[in-house]
Structure 1
Amino acid sequence: MSDAIKHECGIAFIRLLKPLEYYQAKYGTPFYGINKLYLLMEKQHNRGQDGVGVANIKLDVEPGKRYISRYRSISNKPIQDTFDYINSRFSKLEKEDPMKLNDCAWLKENVAFTGELLLGHLRYGTYGKNSVEACHPFLRQNNWKTRNLVVAGNFNLTNVDELFNFMVEIGQHPKEKADTVTVMEKIGHFLDMENQELFDHYKSLGYSNKEISELIAKGLNVGQILKRASEDWDGGYVMSGLFGHGDAFVLRDPNGIRPAYYYKDDEIVVVASERPAIQTAFNLKADDVQELTPGHALITKKGGTVKEEEIIAPKEKRACSFERIYFSRGSDQDIYQERLNLGRNIAPKVFEEVGHDFENTVFSFIPNTAEISYYGMMKAADDQLNDWKTNQIQSLKDPTPEKIQSILSRTTRGEKIAIKDAKLRTFITQDEARDDLVAHVYDVTYGVVKEGKDNLVMIDDSIVRGTTLRQSIIRILDRLGPKKIIIVSSAPQIRYPDCYGIDMAKLGDFAAFRAAIELLRERKLDKLITDVYNSCKEQENAPKEQVINHVKRIYEPFTADEISDKIGELLTPQGTKAEVKLIYQSLEGLKDACPHNSGDWYFSGDYPTQGGNKVVNKAFINFVEGRDERAY
């Protein structure tokens, strides 16, 4: 993607179902769990490179021994730093007493990160400060094992104010108003309640406190805790939690907005945000890995039982389509096909724009995530060219080998045009000089495009702000001298903010929104901006259940093509010699390519939860009032 946008995060959860000695005997190492966690996190590094955290819990540790370990890092290479830290104690032991590296009982008793429960988290610091304190997993400590809680997740909730007020009403004093804190404290509150209810029950039966502690560990109802805690959550989430005594869960939102996949056998339970990560780490086929059902939690009890339990009644599945377009790794077999289809579906509009002149059109892509959709577009071009060849050969009155060969020799012109260089340091302070450096983030292949004659088609997976197109890509492509530059987005126009975990929160950032506002002003329709603003203000303090998306009205006077043309005009740098055209995927083309991920609110404005409408209206209020802040 030319305009990089950030995704909140990814998770990796492992529960070893056998003693460490089992893995040492079968796999030759007592560090099987931590090694697999490293693989899962490394294979999901695309989901977060600003911060990383790992937590570990040991089962059945004697009192007085530490059983919870955690490390978090915001270094330049946080995954490497985290596992260097973890492995440093093993490396030290290898030098001092290598025999102990094979003593599983000693390791578990004396060395951190050698327990059966492991939880890893990768984070993008999309908002606010990127400090270690903001990194997951979060830890809520208590001397009672069953009251200890470790939480990490991939989520954004739209109703943080409501959740914060709930915590205040029950007498707590949350340290900040953030969904990460309120989520952990709300789960923790109902964990405490469950503990107290069980304690009171067993106390009334005459059990001692020590006996009660063990009974609570066996009887803790994880599903009930989650049902109580998540009852009023509004947003997209995959939440993972570990309890100090050994129970664990991974919970997915009822619309299935955020992704979660799992695998289990008699040795291990593993959950990750991406299916290929599990396949690679454990050498599995796609069918071996299950998708966690929306509204359900995968609950692992200390005794080793594993089950999916419904926590919230599943709603219409609105899995995030941006996962398929951009965020998730394209090595997933389904995502690969979907990205090919995105390229195929946009191709007819591209061919129409170049007048089906394949002889004088060069096709390429903006590195690197658009590469698969580029292949899809080229497959469609090859299909159309083959149809042309068939018709040409059939129409020959004198089909000599030379004439047939002349027809068959025609090929589509696919080339590597744009090359992304290492990020340049913009150390110069003057705007003009700094912009000149930014313009060189991309380089191009010279000598491929015929000056003044060729069309140049460049496909990107999506266009959010268009800043890099305007400042860098279009300028440097224009140096090649094409007759026309066609920028193609495999995704539809991004018109509305996300509020479920993607770094797209401000309406004024979106090229499509700026284009619509510009068109309204040009056509003397400014009153609509005021009307929409007033409608949003009227519902500003209404319950989220009553709010509707008024911002849709901003786009209603225009066709998608009119907005695309205006975006092209706004993003074309002054002095560009080539004609510049922008082409976007249609909503229908997206739905056809990604039929199982219908979460398209950033394109359609149809939010899957009630809080989404409140967020988009607030974002519009912020835009009109000139406030540069997130809307939730």
Structure 2
Amino acid sequence: MGIGHVRYPTAGSSNHAEAQPFYVNSPYGIVFAHNGNLINTAELLQFMDQTAHRHINTSSDSELLLNIFADNLQKTGKFRINEEDIFNAIRDLMQQCKGAYACVAMLAGFGIIAFRDPHGIRPVGLASRVAAGGQGKDYLFASESVVADASGFTDWEDVKPGEAVIITRSSVSRRQVGHGAAFAPDIFEYVYFARPDSVLDGISVYRSRMAMGDALADEVERVLREKQLSVDVVIPVPDTSRVAALNLAQKLNVPYREGFIKNRYVGRTFIMPGQQMRRKNVRRKLNAMALEFANKNVLIVDDSIVRGTTSKEIIQMAKDVGAKKVIVASCAPPIRYSNVYGIDMPSRMELVAHNKSTEEIAEAIGADLVIFQTLPDLISSVRQFNTDISTFDCSVFTGEYVTGGVDEDYLAGLERLRADNVKAKAIVGGLGPLEGKGGGGVAERPNGASGAASEDVEVTSSESKNGADTVGLHNSWKL
């Protein structure tokens, strides 16, 4: 039985004290991992200090969530708790905590637990397999279904929004404990974050990206006709945009080529602190092949444009090897607003699309033309594979936050943590953690009949990444 968590430091934080899972020994011994971000941390910290009298050691809201859960269990006053007590504790937690959270926990001598916020913004699911020896079952929680596939688990099911799942040696219990919120998974999971071979909330990430390419092809065709332009070749920015770019090229009847070769030994430029470092590492990470660019009008397809740093360098690389015109097509609409639910995006002022028109964005990144997917087309591309989902969190495109409670003061505080100059100071000056870390928690335990499988314990790590510059999940609270 165990819990793991995929982590890298964001916002300059590399403090080992913030590595998940977190642990408290009172009550009962609880190990806890979390993926997402709370938005009412100031209120919760005050409650922890003045009412619960629990000390929070780090600036991670994962530790805060753990202590809320532990405090709710402690209120039972019992030496031994039961499933009803745990469900009630999670129900109370969901009434106290606002934001996005997909959580896994392990209670010493009891079992493993998973739960998901009432909006279902961040993903988590459950799978099983026959235990070693053929008796009983092993169970696994993970952020993405690909973890179950890779580990030989089957029967993947998503944990529903507001649902809690408890697995003991003898049973699996599920209960809806959070109510009254609209199901709104983050659409950016499908655009960028999730691996293409995952299925999230019944939607194949791969098929949704194919549909994004088809929809984007229609928009590209319309704009090119309006501008009286043509393209000679479609080239993706590796790796996330490949699926969409191939469908787009096929629909436009334009050759698809791999014009950028990726150096897989360079770190993720998205999370590197400082424009200069990101710019330098883009050049190290990608190499443009002149054969595919020289004397051509090139359509470069990317999953999204965030800071514009990568896009600007890529466009210049294409021009350096002889491209006549460089047109950029984005599978996502312009990202103009901060993400507050667990993706470590920069401050609004650092977003290249913030307060800019499409023409101004093109000028800023050096493109001859930029074409964005429309938001209705993006939503349709994803939703068509599960029409039971009526709403997605699209806050990075619209500035509308599904949980409410996100005001200008909160955003300003978040931006103070995320700004490049703050990150640089943290690294140079060793100021300690500013934000938490990201990735999906995963828990697994054998549930063998008569204890037959109790020795065959495994810990599986969920790699919530797409093979490219994974956008970092952050767990932060307002300082």
**Please, what TM-score do these two structures have when normalized by structure 1?**
0.58
Alignment of 1:480-495 (within 5 A): 480-495=321-336
Name the counterpart of 1:416: 258
Matched, 1:447 2:291: yes
Instruction: Specify which of 565, 570, 581 is matched with residue 364 of structure 2.
Output: 570
Name the counterpart of 1:289: 156
Residues 249 and 299 in structure 1, CA contact (< 8 A), matched pair in contact too: yes
* Distance change (3 Å), C-alpha of 1:155 and 1:360: closer
Name the SS for the 2:353 alignment partner.
helix
In 1, the alpha carbon distance for the partners of 2:82 and 2:265 equals: 54
In 2, the alpha carbon distance for the partners of 1:256 and 1:351 equals: 35
Name the counterpart of 2:49: 168
- Offset of residue 450 of structure 1: 5.0
- Offset of residue 180 of structure 1: 2.0
* Distance change (3 Å), C-alpha of 1:360 and 1:438: closer
Tell me the amino acid that sits aligned with residue 142 of structure 2: A
Identity %: 24
Tell me the amino acid that sits aligned with residue 205 of structure 2: I
Matched, 1:298 2:165: yes
Name the SS for the 1:139 alignment partner.
strand
Alignment of 1:358-369 (within 5 A): 361-369=232-240
Per-residue Cα deviation, 1:70-113 (whole angstroms, up to 9, x for no partner): xxxxxxxxxxxxxxxxxxxxxxxxxxxxxxxxxxxxxxxxxxxx
Name the SS for the 1:612 alignment partner.
coil
Matched, 1:222 2:104: no
- Offset of residue 622 of structure 1: 5.7
Name the SS for the 2:233 alignment partner.
strand
Name the counterpart of 1:180: 62
Residues 354 and 361 in structure 1, CA contact (< 8 A), matched pair in contact too: no
Name the SS for the 2:380 alignment partner.
helix
In 2, the alpha carbon distance for the partners of 1:270 and 1:621 equals: 36
In 2, the alpha carbon distance for the partners of 1:324 and 1:566 equals: 27
Matched, 1:605 2:399: yes
Residues 495 and 602 in structure 1, CA contact (< 8 A), matched pair in contact too: yes
* Distance change (3 Å), C-alpha of 1:291 and 1:435: closer
Larger relative helix fraction: 1
* Distance change (3 Å), C-alpha of 1:567 and 1:620: farther
Residues 114 and 164 in structure 2, CA contact (< 8 A), matched pair in contact too: yes
Structure 2: any 5+ residue segments left out of the alignment? Answer: 130-135, 270-274, 384-388, 424-434, 436-476
* Distance change (3 Å), C-alpha of 1:121 and 1:438: closer
Tell me the amino acid that sits aligned with residue 62 of structure 2: T
In 1, the alpha carbon distance for the partners of 2:276 and 2:109 equals: 60
Matched, 1:592 2:458: no
Matched, 1:375 2:275: no
Tell me the amino acid that sits aligned with residue 464 of structure 1: V
- Offset of residue 585 of structure 1: 0.9
- Offset of residue 437 of structure 1: 7.4
Matched, 1:280 2:150: yes
Tell me which moved more, 159-168 or 473-482.
Answer: 473-482
The structure with more radius of gyration: 1
* Distance change (3 Å), C-alpha of 1:219 and 1:179: closer
Alignment of 1:107-256 (within 5 A): 117-142=1-26, 147-170=28-51, 171-194=53-76, 196=77, 198=78, 213=79, 216-218=80-82, 221-256=85-120
In 1, the alpha carbon distance for the partners of 2:214 and 2:349 equals: 31
In 1, the alpha carbon distance for the partners of 2:278 and 2:84 equals: 59
Residues 290 and 322 in structure 2, CA contact (< 8 A), matched pair in contact too: no
Name the SS for the 2:191 alignment partner.
helix
Matched, 1:462 2:304: yes
In 2, the alpha carbon distance for the partners of 1:164 and 1:435 equals: 38
In 1, the alpha carbon distance for the partners of 2:283 and 2:368 equals: 17
In 1, the alpha carbon distance for the partners of 2:19 and 2:420 equals: 31
Per-residue Cα deviation, 1:161-185 (whole angstroms, up to 9, x for no partner): 1110001111333334541222111
Name the SS for the 1:588 alignment partner.
helix
Residues 278 and 309 in structure 2, CA contact (< 8 A), matched pair in contact too: no
Residues 295 and 314 in structure 1, CA contact (< 8 A), matched pair in contact too: no
In 2, the alpha carbon distance for the partners of 1:124 and 1:314 equals: 34
Name the SS for the 1:282 alignment partner.
coil
Name the SS for the 1:221 alignment partner.
helix
Residues 461 and 490 in structure 1, CA contact (< 8 A), matched pair in contact too: yes
**Please, what TM-score do these two structures have when normalized by structure 2?**
0.76
Alignment of 1:503-522 (within 5 A): 503-513=344-354, 515-516=355-356
Name the counterpart of 2:452: none
Between the two structures, name the one with larger relative contact order (CA 8 Å, sep ≥ 6). 2
Per-residue Cα deviation, 1:288-320 (whole angstroms, up to 9, x for no partner): 21111100101124x522121122115111101
Tell me the amino acid that sits aligned with residue 262 of structure 2: K
Name the counterpart of 2:209: 339
* Distance change (3 Å), C-alpha of 1:184 and 1:626: closer
Per-residue Cα deviation, 1:514-537 (whole angstroms, up to 9, x for no partner): x53xxxxxxxxxxxxxxxxxxxxx
Per-residue Cα deviation, 1:521-570 (whole angstroms, up to 9, x for no partner): xxxxxxxxxxxxxxxxxxxxxxxxxxxxxxxxxxxxxxxxxx11101111
* Distance change (3 Å), C-alpha of 1:381 and 1:508: same
- Offset of residue 252 of structure 1: 0.1
Residues 306 and 351 in structure 2, CA contact (< 8 A), matched pair in contact too: yes
In 1, the alpha carbon distance for the partners of 2:243 and 2:225 equals: 24
